[in-house]
Amino acid sequence: MAGKDVGNSEEKEQKDIGITVKKSEDFSEWYQQVILKSEFADYSAVSGCIVYRPESYLIWEKIQRIVDARLKKLGIKNCYFPLFIPERLLKKEATHLEGFSPEVAWVTHAGDTELDEKLAIRPTSETIMYDSFARWIRSWRDLPLRTAQWNNVVRWEFKHPVPFLRGREFLWVEGHTVFASKAEAEHEGLEITQIWEDVLKEYLAVAFFTGRKSKKETFAGAEYTISLESVLPNNKAIQGPDFHHDGQIFAKAYDIKFLNKNGENEFAYQNTWAISTRMLGVMFGIHGDDNGVIVPPRVAITHVAIVPILYDDTMDQVLKECRKLQEELSSTMYHGETLGVLIDDSNYKPGWKYHHWELKGVPLRIEFGPKDLEKKQAVLVRRDTGVKITVPLHEVTAKAKEILDEMQEHLYQKSVAIMNTAIITVHDMAAFEKALDERMIVYAPFCNSPACEDQIKAQTGAKTLNSPLEQKNSEMKCVSCGSVTKEYFYFGRSY
């Protein structure tokens, strides 16, 4: 064997870096371990704020590229506004301020000097941006105004942050758009929601249900919110990307008017929308297993890890063939980019390397040793199933692409199964509470009254998730108060 035999010390190191709990038995502890030990994130000296290590930030950059290209096709342009928001701007829309007040971190001093006005650290950018929009927009010719900014935001209200899923600082794109008519603004909702659905399904392999938020859970300052909700393997729900139609609410608060084609002044119609780094955590939590992370191929940075089996007498020939494989695979296009391929010729035993790349979630491993050299073959190992197949060298590239596509679809279908298995339909509170005790997502008729939702949350600890956009239901009784409704809502315990 090439290099030193590290023996027991290597086995101890492998044990130390491995996952020590089963995902099915303790999801929370498993999730914390898998995020840290795979080196996707680290804790920082600031409570609730994580370090996005290169392994995860590279994936976020890929999501940025995917989303940014789609947004640009719609004519949406990127911009950047200040991190700090004067208190007077935040106060202009009362509902918005009330919704975010518990989350706002304030800057009150510059050095030892108290500021004349407190500055909020951006929890979201409506207030700072719309102050400018009011100056920029004068006529219907200035519309539509479609902007987005990729930035960080700070929200400080919660006590139990979870890496990626609930952080006091996170990264996102926030879109802010202005239109001359309600119809134009609402049409954008279809466009943006389609992008979010495509990104979650086709790239992250994450299942979701799309719907409208309840009155109580609607974004502060919006007329309505459309959200994509996903379900983690512990049956907790989590909100993904969203779209908010603000109507003229912010326009009236910030005096965003325009002269229409008839020469009359009217208030504009606005939308806001976002997708954030939360989706990294959702992806890791849904797809990972007891060996570590599993990264869906279409967002993977490294698609293939080649692990040579090295002995002194055949090392040069084996490495030479591995480099040929790397060169061929690295020049192969896969869904708009070349495959990311590495050779692990480090000074560890093959078993340690297999474990290492499984922990990091690399979709495909290729094992290649003296016997494979002799037989002109390679062993391909899928990360999601662990299935090994032996493939002639001249077929490796085609087979690798085939496996990656199969894996992408398999991960999505597993996510669909997790979601569908978690949902149960009920029509009375006894069944509602029983289902929640069994950690289910409940689908039930609901009157959409904030007071009724408060009562349900106080009684069960569950909140509404969303309500399907298209429903054809006859009159039913609300699961809680018994009033007449025609809508079903999803309920659950969530992050």
Model confidence pLDDT, tens digit, residues 366-405: 999 999 999 999 999 999 999 999 999 999 999 999 999 9
Distance CA 270, CA 45 (A): 38
Distance CA 234, CA 237 (A): 9
441 - beta bridge partners? 423
Residue 133 identity: F
- Domain 423-492: what homologous superfamily? C-terminal domain of ProRS (3.30.110.30)
Q: 138 and 259 in contact (C-beta within 8 Å)?
A: yes
Q: 299 and 203 in contact (C-beta within 8 Å)?
A: yes
| β 364-368/337-338 pair status | unpaired
For residue 8, what pLDDT is reported?
47
pLDDT in tens, 257-280: 999 999 999 999 999 999 999 999
For 26-52, letters b (16+ CB in 10 Å) and e give ebeebbbbbbbbbebbeeeeeebbbeb
pLDDT in tens, 278-328: 999 999 999 999 999 999 999 999 999 999 999 999 999 999 999 999 999
**Mean pLDDT across the chain:** 94
User: What CATH number does the domain located at 302-405 have?
Assistant: 3.40.50.800
For residue 159, what pLDDT is reported?
75
Distance CA 210, CA 490 (A): 10
User: Is 201's pLDDT higher than 50?
Assistant: yes
User: Is 441's pLDDT higher than 50?
Assistant: yes
In 3D space, the residue among 202, 224, 166, 227 whose CA is nearest the CA of residue 67 turns out to be 202
pLDDT in tens, 131-163: 999 999 999 999 999 999 999 999 987 778 899
In 3D space, the residue among 245, 281, 158, 457 whose CA is nearest the CA of residue 489 turns out to be 457
pTM of the model: 0.94
For residue 17, what pLDDT is reported?
67
Q: 266 and 187 in contact (C-beta within 8 Å)?
A: no
Please report, for the chain, the start and end positions of each structural domain, with discontinuous segments joined by +. Answer: 27-287, 302-405, 423-492
Predicted confidence band of residue 7 (pLDDT cuts 50, 70, 90)? very low
SS3 of residue 326 by DSSP: helix
**Cβ-based burial of 69 (10 A; exposed 0-12, middle 13-18, buried ≥19):** exposed
For residue 120, report the phi and psi dihedrals to the nearest 5 degrees: -80, 140
Predicted confidence band of residue 18 (pLDDT cuts 50, 70, 90)? confident
- Domain 27-287: what homologous superfamily? Bira Bifunctional Protein; Domain 2 (3.30.930.10)
